[in-house]
Amino acid sequence: MEQSHIANVDEKRDFEVNSSNLKHVRSFCREVFEKLNINQELKDELILAIAEAAQNIVKHAYNNEQTEDKMEIKISVSDGHLEIGFFDKGRPVEKDKIRHRKIDDIKPGGLGTFFIQQIMDAVVFKEGEKPWINHLILSKNLNN
């Protein structure tokens, strides 16, 4: 098997769940992706997907309510396979209710999930292992 030219990384960080921390989520992603040999366009797309997923935690798992809870974001790359884990203690995700709006239906909202699905290869919701409630995994093969 050919070895990937993309470095392996495994980093995680906690963020308080509120919208003012989304910029810190993006900074963390930029820091991690700086270590990878991937183009800027792909880095920007991945940062958008991660920020949208973090925003969904603030908006939907916590209904944008004030909390002292933290979410954890873990970024791992192994042999060019990127996996991003999101862990939170908010309301359990109702998987059946997650869908982006129809793209032809022009109205504000509902685009975040669409962006995530456009950018990533796979989006998987799992029940979180204690103490977490929700565990979202976004993945993408960076070798393509």
Q: Which residues of 22-51 are buried (b: 16+ CB within 10 A; e: fewer)?
A: beebeebbeebbeebebeeeebebbbbbbb
Q: Is residue 57 within 8 Å of residue 71, measured between CB atoms? A: yes
Q: Interacting stretch for other proteins, rule CB under 8 A, among 31-39, 91-99, 104-112, 124-132?
A: 104-112
Q: Report d(CA 63, CA 143) in Å as an integer.
A: 37
Q: Check binding of 117 to other proteins (CB under 8 A).
A: no
Nearest distance in Å: CB 115, other proteins? 6
Contact track, other proteins, 53-72, x by CB under 8 A: --x--xx-------------
Nearest distance in Å: CB 33, other proteins? 14
Q: Check binding of 34 to other proteins (CB under 8 A).
A: no
Q: Report d(CA 117, CA 111) in Å as an integer.
A: 10
What does the DSSP 8-state code read for residue 97? Answer: G
Nearest distance in Å: CB 51, other proteins? 6
- Interacting residue with other proteins among 108, 129, 131, 144 (CB under 8 A): 108
Q: Report d(CA 32, CA 21) in Å as an integer.
A: 17
- Interacting residue with other proteins among 29, 51, 73, 75 (CB under 8 A): 51
Q: Check binding of 90 to other proteins (CB under 8 A).
A: no
As separate numbers, helices (DSSP H) first and strands (DSSP E) second, the chain gives 3, 5
Tokens encoding 5 = 């030219």
> Which residues in this chain contact other proteins in the complex, by CB under 8 A?
19-20, 22-23, 26, 41, 44, 47-48, 51-52, 55, 58-59, 103, 106-109, 111-112, 114-115, 118
